[in-house]
Amino acid sequence: MIFVTLGTQKFQMNRLIKAVDELAASGRVNDDFFIQTGVSTYKPKNCGHIDFMDSDQYAGYISECNLLITHAGVGTIITGIKASKPVIVVPRLAHFGEHVDDHQTQIAKAFSDKGCVLCCENLDELANYIEKSKTYEFQDYNIKNGNVEDTILRFMSMFS
CATH number where 55 lies: 3.40.50.2000
* pLDDT tens-digit series, residues 12-30: 999 999 999 999 999 999 9
By percentage, how much of the chain surpasses pLDDT 70? 89
Query: Which whole number is the average pLDDT over 100-124?
Result: 93
Q: What is the Cα–Cα distance from 83 to 141, expressed in whole angstroms?
A: 11
Model confidence over 47-88: pLDDT tens digits?
A: 999 999 999 999 999 999 999 999 999 999 999 999 999 999
Stated pTM of the model: 0.89
The tally of domains found in the chain comes to: 1
pLDDT for res 152: 58
Q: What distance in Å separates the CA atoms of residue 99 and residue 49, rounded to the nearest whole number?
A: 22
Sheet with 87-89, strands from edge to edge, namely 48-50, 33-36, 2-5, 67-70, 87-89, 118-119
How does the average pLDDT of the chain come out, rounded? 91
> Residue 16: its pLDDT value, please?
98
Domain limits for position 25? 2-157
